[in-house]
Structure 1
Amino acid sequence: MRRRGPGAEHGRVTETIPGLFLSLPEVLLLLGAVALLVARRLPPAARRPVTVAAGAVLVPSALVLGVVGLRWQMLPVLSGAAVASAFALPPLLRRGAGRPAWRARWWLALPGSLACAGLIATGPVAAWAFPVPVFPEPTGAFAVGTRVVQWTDPQRPEGFTADPDDRRTVVVQLWYPARKSPAGVPRAQYLGRTEGEARTVSEALADGVGLPGFLVDGVPRARSRAVVDAPVADGGERFPVVLFSPGSSGVRSQNTAWAEELASHGYLVAALDHPYDSSVVVLADGRTIRTATVSSGDRDKDAELAAGWTAVRAADLGFVLSRLERLDHGETPDALAGRLDTGRAAVAGHSLGGAAALQAARQDRRFDAVIDLDGYPHGPTAPALEQPALALTQEITAGTDPRYLPRLTEALENNTATSYRLTVPGAGHLTFMDGPLYLPPVPSIVGTLGRTESPRVVAAATLAFLDATVRGRPGDVADALRAYGTVSSSAGARGTATPAPEPRG
């Protein structure tokens, strides 16, 4: 029987109610505070029982939250409850002592009541703006399993350190088709293997964009839809593989919703942490590696730096594909051995990771398709791509870097296979990762598609492309993509239809 990890019960207690962005104890705390506020406005006969009932709800809820962890969004609610109690409790205490009750005049109480109402209202608004992310239920036929592996490339020195014996190490998270787990089995921690690692990653990501870490304190509380170490799906089917590189300073788990959706449709997704490039990477031995990639502010110098970082990432992607091949061949005992179809492989990335995916595809013909999620193509555009390519972008506006579209067009047109660019209406740069699930729905940050539609559109468009180019399912790729935005395509030397690749192994 699987042992439940520490915090499994806390995970249930703090799980948010869909649509409310609050957990059950937080909802009770909010209701208690509201009841305490309105009690003094009720008829005299109702004031005492309502006030007592409010306290009976408030106090236990606050104690529970104190044990499992109080989110900052609830501090205004507690403050509002304290202000309300200053008006609601004294009359009850005086009456209980046999003394005549005294109530402040309405015009004296009104400012305090308004302040109290404002504080209480701030709680749910803040929880809506910075929620604990709720991941969409994958729509595919498979349940999803996940685990984290760490691999070292003995052939590559670590270029970010001066130690000549240091070798390049990457941390990789795998999502794969799995058997359905029994009800009640804890879901995987988001952002890390443990809640401690998740908090380290969350704080590093917030610091990277200049946000106080407490604003996103709900993110490390989240659970995804996958189950750690779930048994691999029955049936003997072999799964095509998709490698993923995150954005600049991004982390392996930043596209969890996307990865889980692909895995539920029969793909093995391997997402990388790139040490010294990702905001923070926690190694298996507990060492923490912080980012060492810093822009200079000079456009030409930064372009050179980005090209170098992209090259390192591309090499990481090729190395991980080789390790997946070895895993599939059973060099070490593994439940996924013999289940990976590494002969059908795609490479994808977001932002800087998209540039790395393009470079990896140019350098490594084992990749059969490439996906760029709103990434500027850093580095050389030669040799020409020979694989079908898909670029998902936000709409090009006057504020878009004027170099972006010409550079992307050059990269896509310099291809002997067919390339597609899908412009997604309402998308922002962070639409193409998990950001819409937990960041404020501000159009300039996450676009206007919303928390539900953003992950659905990106995953569905990706699946339409992969199913056609990697699995070879019949149908017009451009026509399938038009359901999600505006499509432009450039037909390479192979024509507009690209057959499925022949398996290599």
Structure 2
Amino acid sequence: MWRPGRRPEDGPVTEIVAGLYLSPWELIVLLGAVALVAARWLPPAARPRVTIAAVAVLVPSAVALGVTGVRWQLLPVAAGAAVALPFALSPLLRGRTGRPARRARWWVALPGSLACLGLMAAGPVAAWAFPVPAFPEPTGRFAVGTRVMQWTDPERPETFTADPHDRRTVVVQLWYPARQSPADARRAQYLGHTEHEARTVSAALVRQVGLPGFLVDGVPRARSHAVFDAPVAGGGERFPVVLFSPGSGGVRTQNTAWAEELASHGYVVAGLDHPYDSAAVVLADGRTLRTRTESTGDRDKDDELAARWTAVRAADLRFVLTRLDRLDRGEGAGPLTGRLDTGRAAVTGHSMGGAAALQAARRDRRFDAVIDLDGYPHGPATPTLRQPALALTQAITPDTDPRYLPRLTRALERNTAPSYRLTVPGAAHLTFMDGPLYLPPLPSVTGSLGRTDSPRVVAATTLAFLNTTLRHQPGDLPGTLSAYGHLSVHHPKDSG
């Protein structure tokens, strides 16, 4: 069992002012820079005092940022301040030496001031477009704890390597209901248990999509609401488990906002890293395993590869459920022993992870429910599903793979248990993960629901489904789901 803690090299954390996507020090630098430019247009008596105050604010805050780390989003602000500084200080310095103060005429100074203010405005705009993710506060009655496990399946060889002795190893992160931690408890790093791991994973993710790494430099700085190794919630309650498989190239933490919300409502969420499929997987021994899943461009070959990779992921999910059951029964004793109700288990996934969840549910009746977050159903359609299923999809457009909806509908129609397909208006493929929290709000990329509503919709719909299927809570599930989009319900009697 691997239970990492904080390391000295983790570095400082950037706390972001809500709604501004700037840290307090960044905000002070911005205000000081603006004041430096604005001083030129104040009454003569006020100019020296405002200029001195602006410089007095800028210097220490810039030093503080040098210690905590400067984000690229602040560079335009720094450039504007650097251009304005000599023009602001020159009259003061000349006055102190007894020489007459000289200021540029207004018709010369105005374009320069506007150019500096334009640079300074670019900073907050860039911080808004590429922010440090601010995770929504979980709404459940529990605080959230998290821990990382690493398990090796002795029965399965690692098919991505040529070493016949290599066995399949899976890294799993658990989010679980916890006791309230002290106010000063350090929150969990996003994308990894240390800043080094977070930066390794972030760099791998941006390489995968072809983005310059500096654009999302705020992502590895982020911290969620969970606390590593926080004490499990008291009371002796046993919690249903929800396994999660990320999208192709995705990582175990890509749905952290969703996982924390479920954990706050009394579920244990187990997010998987799939070695050689996830963008980067950092093992306990320090090795980093990078993705080896690449498309060929040939649709038939890619379909065959996707089915094979999906099968590996499905086997990972089944293996992790087995290990969680052993953990609950005391193997590798830990704080979650006796608290995991693996008799109430759901399997979920995003994109290819959704396909893996469907395959795992088909093969393993221990899963009582399955959720597919906009995942194309790769692999065989048999055996038929026998568990309640929920599929969340983005709006179907002419650009959608024409095979997607028929294959998904066929799988749901053949289910021997009730199935629900919810098409969420305004959703895009990345709406169903953490992407809207830190990517530019482009409708074609993250959807049009916004940074607040995207995680809220995904969490609310899946929680309603899980509460009904795992906890058997009464209520109008179709009515609840219909409030978030267009709902299709497939009852067992509808299947042929």
Return the TM-score normalized by structure 1. 0.95
Matched, 1:401 2:384: no
Matching residue's letter, 2:12? H
Q: How far apart, CA to CA, are the structure 1 residues paired with 2:282 and 2:12? A: 23
- Equivalent pair of 2:432/2:458 in contact (CA under 8 Å): yes
Matching residue's letter, 1:282? V
Aligned to 1:64: 64
Aligned to 1:206: 206
Matching residue's letter, 1:90? S
Cα deviation for residue 113 of structure 1 reads 1.7
Matching residue's letter, 1:40? R
Cα deviation for residue 171 of structure 1 reads 0.4
Aligned to 1:10: 12
Q: How far apart, CA to CA, are the structure 1 residues paired with 2:253 and 2:168? A: 20
Q: How far apart, CA to CA, are the structure 1 residues paired with 2:378 and 2:324? A: 26
- Equivalent pair of 1:416/1:494 in contact (CA under 8 Å): no
Equivalent residue runs for 1:254-293 within 5 Å: 254-293=254-293
Q: Secondary structure at the match of 1:154?
A: strand
- Equivalent pair of 2:278/2:291 in contact (CA under 8 Å): yes
**Mean Cα displacement is larger for which, 408-417 or 104-113?**
104-113
Equivalent residue runs for 1:381-392 within 5 Å: 381-392=381-392
Aligned to 2:23: 23
Aligned to 1:241: 241
Cα deviations by residue, 1:24-43 (Å, 9 ceiling, x for unpaired): 10000000000001111111
Q: Secondary structure at the match of 2:342?
A: strand
Cα deviations by residue, 1:77-132 (Å, 9 ceiling, x for unpaired): 00000011132111111111110111122233233222211110000000011111
**Mean Cα displacement is larger for which, 481-490 or 25-34?**
481-490
Aligned to 2:478: 478
Equivalent residue runs for 1:326-405 within 5 Å: 326-405=326-405
Matching residue's letter, 2:194? T
Matching residue's letter, 2:39? A
Aligned to 1:502: none
Matched residues, number: 491
Return the TM-score normalized by structure 2. 0.97
Q: Secondary structure at the match of 2:254?
A: helix
Matched, 1:313 2:310: no
- Equivalent pair of 1:417/1:494 in contact (CA under 8 Å): no
**Mean Cα displacement is larger for which, 482-491 or 159-168?**
482-491
- Equivalent pair of 1:390/1:421 in contact (CA under 8 Å): yes
Equivalent residue runs for 1:285-304 within 5 Å: 285-304=285-304
Aligned to 1:441: 441
Cα deviation for residue 384 of structure 1 reads 0.3
Q: How far apart, CA to CA, are the structure 2 residues paired with 1:30 and 1:184? A: 28
User: What is the CA RMSD across the aligned residues, in angstroms?
Assistant: 1.4
Q: How far apart, CA to CA, are the structure 1 residues paired with 2:169 and 2:195? A: 23
Matching residue's letter, 1:374? D
**Mean Cα displacement is larger for which, 170-179 or 82-91?**
82-91
Q: Secondary structure at the match of 2:483?
A: helix
Aligned to 2:43: 43
Structure 1 stretches lacking a partner, 5+ long: 496-505
Aligned to 2:132: 132
Q: How far apart, CA to CA, are the structure 1 residues paired with 2:410 and 2:192? A: 37
Cα deviations by residue, 1:40-71 (Å, 9 ceiling, x for unpaired): 11111111111110001101111101011000
Cα distance 1:75–1:286, how it changes in 2: closer, same or farther (>3 A)?
A: same
Q: How far apart, CA to CA, are the structure 1 residues paired with 2:480 and 2:40? A: 60
- Equivalent pair of 1:153/1:167 in contact (CA under 8 Å): yes
Cα deviations by residue, 1:390-444 (Å, 9 ceiling, x for unpaired): 0001111222111111111111112111110011111111110001111111111
Equivalent residue runs for 1:117-128 within 5 Å: 117-128=117-128
Cα deviation for residue 7 of structure 1 reads 7.7
- Equivalent pair of 2:427/2:448 in contact (CA under 8 Å): yes
- Equivalent pair of 1:4/1:186 in contact (CA under 8 Å): no
Aligned to 2:167: 167
% of aligned pairs identical? Answer: 76
Cα deviations by residue, 1:285-313 (Å, 9 ceiling, x for unpaired): 11001100000011111111100110000
Q: Secondary structure at the match of 1:421?
A: strand
Cα deviation for residue 268 of structure 1 reads 0.6
Q: How far apart, CA to CA, are the structure 1 residues paired with 2:370 and 2:11? A: 41
Matching residue's letter, 2:275? P
Q: Secondary structure at the match of 2:46?
A: helix
Q: How far apart, CA to CA, are the structure 1 residues paired with 2:457 and 2:182? A: 29
